[in-house]
Copies of this chain bind each other. A is one copy, B any other.
Amino acid sequence: MLLLRQGFSRSGWRRSIAVRQFRQDPTTGRWVIIAPGRAHRPRRFGSSEERAEAEPCPFCSGNEALTPPEIWAARAAESAADGPGWRVRVVPNKYPALTEAEPAAGLTDNLYPSQAALGAHEVIIESPAHDVSLGTLSEDQFSRVVLSYRQRLRELSRDARWRYALLYKNQGDGAGATLEHVHSQLVAMPAVPQAPRQELERAKAYFQATGECIYCVLIERETGRPERVIFQDEHFLALCPFAARFAYETWLVPKNHLPAFADSPEGTVQAFARSLKEILKRIDAVLGDPPFNFFIHSMPIADGADKYYHWQLRILPQLARAAGFEWGSGAHINSVAPEEAARVLRDGLR
């Protein structure tokens, strides 16, 4: 098989992986990541009894030896790397979609462009305890988690190989998580991927046409006619967007114009932590701990000073599945009007 090679050993980690590639589909122009090694990921969900019988959770305190060596941690001064004593711990993804070590596998081919799937893929373990969700963390711990997002995004932004870094979370089996222990992920890539690129292009075009940031205009519009506002304070606006793809889709947007999350001052990040905790608490309460994804869209690396873009977090509850219509048309059907979703999340009642 062209694409398979033998398992290799690095830092004591032996695993059978295959060469990963970025590949472009000639009929759609879409890029995908072919990452055969990820098929071997363990799936671990269930009650604590089921867990006790199964393999130990690699993200629990005391099991640090089950992950690759840590990259960064918020830990007690007297504790040692890769031992207990941490509050937030960042490790390489053991089944990465992209790696720094990938050999150049791309061949020049006019019909089928491909290239080595270079990148970084990290896991941010958001608590040493297993049975917590992000919404139930203490305020202190929540701040620590969000400051660790900024810390890792800043660090990866210094690496000249990366052009975009995406921080995202999969909460619950129904949102694609493979481990239930609370964690988010961070992927750094050599190019800006399609979804943020599309937003950046539209924001740039809007700025060129009007001299204004489209997100600033949106914020003004939504706060002035608050049918889609869930809550707001001095720093952040939580709203259901006009053309939400998902039922109860929610955005969290800083009110001040800020292109890059990584450049946000500590006060903004603290305010963000408070708003994010509040919206997750409401989503859990109103929708009954639904599976959800969230991600931060921010300026590409090294473009932080530009004026036209505005970072934001988008939360996508996964109450229905994308199906044949969505995959076949590219358009989503949302069966809850954003105005109704905002009312429900605003009042805390369904």
Which A residues form the contact surface with B (CB < 8 A)? Answer: 1-4, 18, 23-39, 41, 97, 111-112, 166, 168-170, 174-177, 185, 187, 189, 193-199, 202-203, 206, 214-215, 217-218, 221, 227, 241-245, 247, 293-295, 297, 314, 316, 318, 320-340
Q: Which residues of B contact A316 (CB under 8 A)?
A: 324, 327
Q: Which of B206, B324, B332 contacts A185 (CB 8 A)?
A: B324
**Which residue of chain B is the closest to A25 with respect to CB atoms?**
B243
29 A-B pairs with C-beta separation under 8 A: A1-B339, A3-B337, A3-B340, A26-B243, A27-B202, A27-B241, A28-B195, A30-B198, A30-B331, A32-B332, A32-B334, A33-B331, A33-B334, A35-B335, A36-B335, A38-B333, A111-B221, A112-B243, A166-B329, A168-B324, A168-B327, A176-B324, A177-B323, A187-B325, A193-B331, A195-B327, A195-B330, A294-B324, A295-B324
> Is chain A's binding surface mostly helix, strand, loop or mixed?
mixed
Q: Which of B24, B293, B327, B338 contacts A324 (CB 8 A)?
A: B293
* Measured CA separation A217–B109 after assembly (Å): 14
Q: Which residues of B contact A196 (CB under 8 A)?
A: 328-330
Quote the shortest CB–CB distance from A301 to chain B (angstroms).
Answer: 14
Interface pair A26/B242, CB less than 8 Å apart = yes
Interface pair B97/A321, CB less than 8 Å apart = no
Interface pair B38/A175, CB less than 8 Å apart = no
- The answer to whether residues A36 and B194 also contact, given A97-B325, A202-B27, A242-B112 and a CB cut-off of 8 A, is no
Q: Which of B29, B111, B197 contacts A217 (CB 8 A)?
A: B111
